[in-house]
Amino acid sequence: MSAHRKGESDLLYRDGRWFLIATCDLPDPRIKNPDAFLGVDLGIVNIATTSDGARHSGKALNAVRHRHRELRRRLQAKRTKSAKRLLKQRRRKEARFAANTNHVIAKQIVTEAERTGQGIALEDLQGIRDRVRLRKPQRVTLHSWSFHQLGAFVGYKAARAGIAVIHVDPAFASQQCSSCGHVDRNNRLDQACFSCTSCGFAEHADVNAARNIAARGQTGWAVSHAA
C-alpha cells in the first residue's frame, strides 16, 4: 500500500477518535490494458481535438464568454447593488454553461475511446497558464479551470468505463511533426494548419498535436507498466 501513497496525509480528530486521511493511487483491476491511445489536444478555438480527428468546437462557449465580458464592462461602471447581483448571476450562468459543455465533450471522448478500444492520453495541465500566455489574442478567453474540469470529467467517466487514462507533458506538441518527429515552430503555419518543413506531412494543427499526445501516452504507458 505504501508504494501507492501520494502527497500529504491529514490527521483528523472527530467524535473522540483519530482518523488518518491519506491519498492512495491504486491500480484499478477493472482498467483494461490498451493497445493504443486516443490523444486529446486542448485549446480555445477547439476546446478538445482527438488524434482520431474529432474536433469539439469552443465557438458557443467563447460566444457566451464574450457576451459576459461585454456585460461586465458595462455593469462594473455602475457599481450598484443590482448590478453586482446581475454580475453574479451571469457568472454562475457562464460556469454552468461551461460545465455542461465539458460534460458533453468528455462523454464523446470517452465513448470514442471505448468504441475504438483505446486508452485516453490527456495533457498534463501543470504548465497550461504559461503555455497559453504566449497566445496574446486568446489570453482573455482562457479559463484554465475549465480545462481542469474537462480533464476531471474525462477521468471519472473513463474510470467508470474501465478505460485507462494517462497524463503526458504537452511541451512542443503543437510544433512537433507527428509523422517524422521533427520539431520546428515554422511547422505551424497558422492556428489551424500544420505542415512539416522536414517531411512535408500536413494535417490540421490540433489533430497533429493530438497525435503527438497519443504517441506520448503510448510511450508513457509502456514505461510505467513494464514489469
Interface with Zn ion by CB under 5 A: which residues? 177, 179-180, 182, 196, 198-199, 201
Give φ, ψ of 225 to 5 degrees.
-115, 10
Q: Which is nearer to Zn ion, 125 or 202 (CB)?
A: 202
Site of grid cell 455593469: 75
Query: What's the min distance (Å) between Cβ of 180 and Zn ion?
Result: 3
Q: Which is nearer to Zn ion, 2 or 186 (CB)?
A: 186
Query: What's the min distance (Å) between Cβ of 177 and Zn ion?
Result: 3
Q: Is 162 left (phi over 0), alpha (psi -120 to 50) or beta?
A: left
Q: Which is nearer to Zn ion, 104 or 192 (CB)?
A: 192
Q: Which residues contact 63 (CB under 8 A, 6 or more apart)?
A: none
Query: What's the min distance (Å) between Cβ of 181 and Zn ion?
Result: 7
- Residue-by-residue DSSP string for 10-53: EEEEETTEEEEEEEE-PPPTTS---SSEEEEEE-SSEEEEETTS
Beta bridge partners of residue 104, listed in sequence order: none
How many Å apart are CA 126 and CA 148, to the nearest integer? 10
Q: Which is nearer to Zn ion, 62 or 179 (CB)?
A: 179
Query: What's the min distance (Å) between Cβ of 212 and Zn ion?
Result: 11
How many Å apart are CA 99 and CA 88, to the nearest integer? 17
Query: What's the min distance (Å) between Cβ of 89 and Zn ion?
Result: 50
Q: Which is nearer to Zn ion, 50 or 208 (CB)?
A: 208
Query: What's the min distance (Å) between Cβ of 200 and Zn ion?
Result: 7
Torsional sign, CA 150, 25, 114, 225? positive
Q: Which is nearer to Zn ion, 24 or 180 (CB)?
A: 180
State the greatest distance between any 2 C-alpha atoms of the chain, in Å, as a whole number: 69
